[in-house]
Structure 1
Amino acid sequence: MRTRTFALTAVTSVACGAALLGPAALPATADVPVPDTPPDTRVGPAPGDVEDPAVSADPAVSAEELLAEVRSCRQISRGKYRTDVNRSKATVPVCGTTDAVFWKADMDIDCDGRKTKACNTRTDPYFQPQTAFQTSRGKPLDSARMPFVVVPAPGRIWDYRKSGLTGGSVVAVIHKGEVRYAVIGDTGPAGIIGEGSYALAQELAIDPHPTTGGAASGVTYIAFKDSRISPIESRAKAERRGEELARAFVGRE
C-alpha cells in the first residue's frame, strides 16, 4: 500500500509541477484542448454569395443631376419664344448640347387627341380631336392617359426636325425636383413653347385642367436627339429609354 501511495503522490507531484511550469512542460502524450473556431468576422458577402439587388442597384438619375447639365445655354434657336399667346415678350430660347436640346418654360395643358371624360369640347373649348403624331394603329394620342410634350411647329425661330427630333423622341421633363420621361406627341403654334399633355401634368403634380391648370414657370424640358421609340404609345419603352439616355447625359455611363 505504501508503494501505491508513493506512486500516487509522485504522479500528483508531477501534475502539480506541470501546472506550474505551463503547457510547454506537459508530456508529449498529454491531451491538449483544441480551441473553438473563431467567429466569422468577414465584412460583406463571402465569395460566391449573391448580394441583394435592391442594395446594389444604381439609383435613378435625379432632377439635380439633370439640371446641373443645363445650367448654361448655347442657343440654337434664331430667336426666343413666348410662353403664351397673350404674352407680348419672347423670353425662352432653345438651347443645344451634343446629345440633346432643352428649354425652360411654363407648362400649358394639351388636351387634344382622343376624346375622353377629361378631354373634350366641354372641358376644353379649344379641344381638337387629333394630334400631330398618331399611335401605331393610326389613332390620335390620348392626352388624358399618355404623357407627352408639345413642341412648336417648325418655323422661323426653330425647326425641331433639324435637331434630330420627331414624334416619339424621348423627353425628360423636370418640375419641383421631380423627373418624368415622356415623348414628343404633338405640335403647337410656331411662336409658343412650353406645353405638355394632361397625363404628363398629372405625373408632375401639376393641375391638369386644360383651361385653369398648368404651371406658370419652373418646368425644364430636355429632348434627346435621335431617341425615337416605337410604338410611340409605349409607356414602358419611354421610361426605360429615358433613364438610359439620362444616365449617359449626366455621365453615369
Structure 2
Amino acid sequence: MRTRTFAFAAASGAALLAVAALPATARDARRSVAPALSAEGPVSAADLLGKVEGCSQISQGKYRTDAQAAATVPVCGKNGAVFWKADLDIVCDGRTSRACNRKTDPWFQPDTSFHQSDDQPLSAEKLPFVVVPSPGPIWNYASSGIKGGSVAAVIYRNKVVYAVVGDTGPSGITGEASYATAKALGMDPDPKTGGADSGVTYILFKGSEVHPIESHGAAVRLGNRLARRFVANN
C-alpha cells in the first residue's frame, strides 16, 4: 500500500509540475474547465443554456406555439439531445385530481399517451412531464431517440426542472408541459391563466428512459447525470 501511495503521489507531483510549466493562459483554462467536468452537483441553467445558443435544425419545418401563431419553432439537434425554445401552455390531462379536472381545465382529457407502471394515466398535478408533438411531417420524436419516459430538462428564468416525456400533442404545435412542471418552475400553473408566453427551453436527452416513469426522483437523478454529460460533450 505504501508503494502504491508513493507512486500516486509521484504521478500527481509530475502532473502538477506539468501544469505549472504551461503558460499562464493555458493554466487558467485548465483550472476553469476541470471543475465543470468533474462536479457532481446540479448543472446550472446557465451551463445548459450556453450549449443551446445556436440551432442545427433537424425538423423538416417549424412548429406553432398555438393554433393561431406563426410557425417559428424548429427542433434543433446537439450531441446527446434535441431541444427547442417556445412558450409553456399548462397541461392538466391524465388522472383526475383536485387541481386537474373538468371544472378547473376546460380542455381536460382523462388520459395521457404514456402510462404509469400500474397502467394508469400520469398525474399532471403531481408529476413534471412535457408534451412532445405527435409524429408528423415536421418531426418524429422516435427518430431522434426520444420515447415515453425520456428525460427532459425544462429551463425558465434560470431555473432547471427535470421532467419526463409524458404525453403527445398536436402534430404541428409544441410548447406544453404539466401543471407540476409549471409549478416547479415558479409559474402560475392554472390551466386557464398560467404558463409562459415565451422564454422556455426544452432539452430532451436521446436514448434516456426513467423507470418507473412516475418516479420524479429517478428523473432528477438521471437528469443530473445526463445534463453533466451534455455540458461536457458539447
- Mark yes or no: TM-score above 0.5: yes
Aligned to 1:230: 211
Aligned to 2:96: 115
**1:178-212: CA deviations, max 9, x gaps?**
00100000000000000000000000001111111
Kindly indicate whether residue 202 of structure 2 is the aligned counterpart of residue 221 of structure 1: yes
Query: Deviation of residue 85 (structure 1)?
Result: 1.5
Counterpart CA distance in 2 for 1:207 and 1:216 is 12
Aligned to 1:53: none
* TM-score using structure 1 length: 0.76
Aligned to 1:212: 193
Kindly indicate whether residue 57 of structure 2 is the aligned counterpart of residue 75 of structure 1: yes
Tell me the SS of whatever aligns to 2:181.
helix
Question: Structure 1: where are the runs of 5+ without partners?
Answer: 1-55
Aligned pairs (5 A) from 1:51-130: 58-87=40-69, 89-130=70-111
Tell me the SS of whatever aligns to 1:240.
helix
Larger relative contact order, structure 1 or 2 (CA cutoff 8 Å, min sep 6): 2
Aligned pairs (5 A) from 1:94-173: 94-173=75-154
**1:39-62: CA deviations, max 9, x gaps?**
xxxxxxxxxxxxxxxxx9743100
Q: Report if the CA contact (8 A) 2:129-2:163 is conserved.
A: yes
State the one-letter code of the partner of 2:64.
R
Question: Structure 2: where are the runs of 5+ without partners?
Answer: 1-37
Q: Report if the CA contact (8 A) 2:79-2:230 is conserved.
A: no
Aligned to 1:49: none
Query: Deviation of residue 86 (structure 1)?
Result: 2.1
State the one-letter code of the partner of 2:42.
A
Aligned to 1:203: 184
Counterpart CA distance in 2 for 1:98 and 1:196 is 24
Tell me the SS of whatever aligns to 1:71.
coil
Identity of aligned residues (%): 60
How many pairs does the alignment contain?
Answer: 197
State the one-letter code of the partner of 1:138.
D
Cα RMSD, aligned residues only: 1.5
Counterpart CA distance in 2 for 1:240 and 1:203 is 16
Q: Over alpha carbons, which structure has the higher Rg?
A: 1
Aligned to 1:250: 231
Aligned to 2:220: 239
